[in-house]
Amino acid sequence: MSAGFGRALGLALDLICPASCASCLAPGGLVCPNCLATLDVTPRRASPSPCPPGFPPTWSVADYAGVARDLLLAYKERSAIGLGRPLALRLATAVRSATGDHPGAVVLVPVPSSVAAVRERGDDVVAVLARMAARALRRDGRSAWALPALRQRRSVADSAGLPATDRLTNLDHALLVRPGAAARLAGRYVVLIDDLVTTGATLTEAARAMQAAGVSVAAAATVAMTRRRSS
Ligand SMILES: [Zn+2]
């Protein structure tokens, strides 16, 4: 079964079958109001330990556990695309925290998924979240838009399960700014977007790639953050 077909099938099933909450399995929808309410919190600064040099100031909504983990996994791995909107609304709160009192336009730059992940999932799920979060900010009267300015330079192995040092090596110079994107970002308030921050290696590499293209990154926002256990 192709990923695109799997995703379409997931959407069709969402529409015709009574869904259950992706976290607590309560019937009635992809996520129940009680579980969703646990994500209506003030975003916090994510601080990986050790913190890689160049890691941008990053705000996250929740620890990667419980409801946040269940919803992200269902959204990313089980094609529960109806969860995109509630996740993007919470991501938008992290962007608000990341931008503070900045009154001007904000550009959300998603960290690109690997080609393999896009093929598997049928879409770049982080780019979709960034677009939806920008839309939520505009509904609030903020000037915000998403620009997928970064791309993978080369094939990057899936970093899940790699030790922190291997992740940094794996991601070293893995990202590039797309041709023409730097000019569109010049002088803008740029916020990097990812679903999850774990070691900080990915956001650090994204900030480095932007810097190399002459674009400074003001901050980053993610849905969740992992508290890493030392191995
Ligand atoms: Zn629930």
The residues spanned by each domain of the chain are: 3-225
> Could you give the residue ranges of the DSSP H alpha helices within 103-176?
115-121, 125-139, 164-171
| pLDDT tens digit sequence for 7-46 | 566 556 555 565 899 999 999 899 999 999 999 999 999 9
- Output the pLDDT for position 231: 40
Q: Determine contact, residues 172/209, Cβ cutoff 8 Å.
A: no
- Listed in sequence order, the residues at least 6 apart from 33 whose beta carbon sits closer than 8 Å to its beta carbon are none
Question: How many residues are present in the chain?
Answer: 231
Distance of CA 23 from the midpoint of ligand 1 (Å):
5
What is the rounded CA–CA span in Å between residue 87 and residue 72?
8
pTM of the predicted protein model: 0.86
Ramachandran angles phi, psi of 210, nearest 5°: -65, -45
Distance of CA 187 from the midpoint of ligand 1 (Å):
42
Distance of CA 225 from the midpoint of ligand 1 (Å):
20
Distance of CA 180 from the midpoint of ligand 1 (Å):
43
Distance of CA 209 from the midpoint of ligand 1 (Å):
39
Distance of CA 36 from the midpoint of ligand 1 (Å):
7
What is the rounded CA–CA span in Å between residue 36 and residue 92?
15
Distance of CA 118 from the midpoint of ligand 1 (Å):
28
Distance of CA 134 from the midpoint of ligand 1 (Å):
26
Ranges of residues in the chain with a pLDDT under 50 are 1, 230-231
Residue environment code for 44-61, b if the CB has 16+ CB neighbours within 10 A, otherwise e: eebebeeebeebbbbbbb
- Output the pLDDT for position 222: 98
What is the rounded CA–CA span in Å between residue 83 and residue 71?
7
- Output the pLDDT for position 113: 86
The residue assigned the tokens 């803008």 is 188
Put residue 22 in one of left, alpha, beta given phi > 0 → left and psi -120 to 50 → alpha. Answer: alpha
Distance of CA 27 from the midpoint of ligand 1 (Å):
8
